[in-house]
């Protein structure tokens, strides 16, 4: 992991530019001139009578780093499912920028438009090598013909090497992803997200199963992404949230309970009652 730390220091250097982190891949059709990159308005969704999302409204500004916290079952993952097209809500609206209606788009179209997702349970392509996982995720035309005649060019190879270094898996580039440890899979999935280079990253519980040091690195990485990218992080680990968050949204029973800085949120008596109180017991 020392190599990863070194790579990280490298990343923090101002004189050295990582173009793939500085600039998100272009996203045709995305219009953020009005400020927010993500509009979630009045979304409701129930599963067999259980209200997982209840009239939820949330805006994320372009370039923002947003943390979403909330007790188990608050609907955080379901919210990401709705944004990425995996779950259709019963009512409400979800827009990517002011022009792309997410509820009318398929999962793959949403991903192509520039929303990348890291799942709660790390999912990598187990029968492909680390290198191939990253190559598959690399931002490129996803058409059949392009894939059939795909050749990785020098620039792409450099980008791949950089991400490999960043996630500390250089030595394991030929290893099948299925034989990585849990933490390494987490990193590989984050690496894939970086290769995809989306405008908006949805990151579901990224530090689960990571060591303290790895958690720190992840925090640094997410902070460094903000600005050119917009990042929404769902996390349980309060320490982690405190270390990265500018704005925190607290979800409870499918809707927004409070929103503000970490201090504001923690001072909120309702939040203390439903979440922080629970956490301490």
62 touches 32 (CB < 8 A): yes
Which residues of the shown chain bind other proteins in the complex (CB under 8 A)?
84, 86, 106-109, 111-112, 116-117, 119, 123-128, 132, 135-137, 142-144, 147-150, 176, 178-179, 192, 196
Task: Name which position in 77, 192, 197, 249 contacts Mg ion (CB under 5 A).
Answer: 77
Please select the residue that binds ligand ADP; options are 2, 72, 106, 127, rule is CB under 6 A.
72
Closest CA to 165 of 119, 221, 114: 221
Sequence-distant (6+) residues with CB within 8 A of 114 are 24, 25, 27, 30, 96, 198, 199, 200
What's the rounded Cα separation, in Å, for the pair 146 and 69? 40
Characterize 133-148 residue by residue with b for buried, 16 or more Cβ atoms within 10 angstroms of its Cβ, and e for exposed.
bbbbbbbbeeeeeeee
- Binding status of residue 230 toward Mg ion by CB under 5 A: no
**Closest approach of ligand ADP to the CB of residue 92, in Å:** 15
CB of 238 to other proteins, least distance (A): 28
Question: CB 66 → ligand ADP: shortest distance, Å?
Answer: 15
If the CB atoms of residues 76 and 199 are measured against ligand ADP, the closer one turns out to be: 76
Alpha-carbon span 55 to 43, nearest angstrom: 5
| Binding site residues, ligand ADP, CB under 6 A | 47, 52, 70, 72-78
| Binding site residues, Mg ion, CB under 5 A | 77, 120
């Amino acid at each position: 992991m020392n190599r990863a730390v070194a790579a990280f220091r490298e990343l923090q250097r101002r004189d050295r530019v990582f173009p793939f982190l500085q600039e998100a891949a272009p996203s045709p059709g995305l219009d953020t001139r009005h400020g927010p990159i993500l509009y979630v308005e009045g979304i409701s969704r129930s599963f067999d009578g259980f209200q997982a999302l209840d009239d939820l409204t949330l805006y994320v500004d372009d370039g923002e780093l947003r943390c979403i916290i909330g007790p188990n079952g608050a609907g955080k993952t379901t919210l990401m499912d709705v944004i990425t097209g995996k779950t259709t809500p019963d009512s409400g609206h979800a827009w990517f920028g002011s022009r792309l209606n997410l509820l009318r788009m398929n999962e793959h179209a949403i991903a192509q438009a520039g929303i990348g997702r890291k799942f709660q349970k790390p999912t990598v392509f187990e029968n492909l090598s680390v290198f191939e996982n990253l190559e598959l995720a690399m931002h490129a035309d996803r058409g059949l013909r392009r894939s059939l005649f795909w050749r990785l060019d020098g620039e792409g190879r450099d980008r791949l090497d950089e991400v490999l270094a960043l996630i500390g898996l250089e030595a394991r580039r030929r290893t099948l992803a299925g034989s990585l440890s849990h933490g390494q899979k987490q990193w590989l999935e984050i690496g894939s997200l970086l290769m995809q280079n989306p405008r908006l990253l949805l990151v579901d519980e990224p530090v689960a199963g990571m060591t303290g040091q790895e958690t720190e690195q992840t925090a640094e990485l997410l902070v460094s992404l903000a600005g050119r990218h917009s990042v929404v992080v769902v996390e349980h680990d309060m320490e982690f949230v405190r270390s990265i968050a500018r704005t925190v949204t607290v979800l409870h029973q499918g809707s927004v309970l409070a929103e503000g800085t970490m201090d504001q949120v923690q001072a909120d008596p309702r939040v203390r009652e439903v979440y922080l109180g629970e956490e301490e017991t």
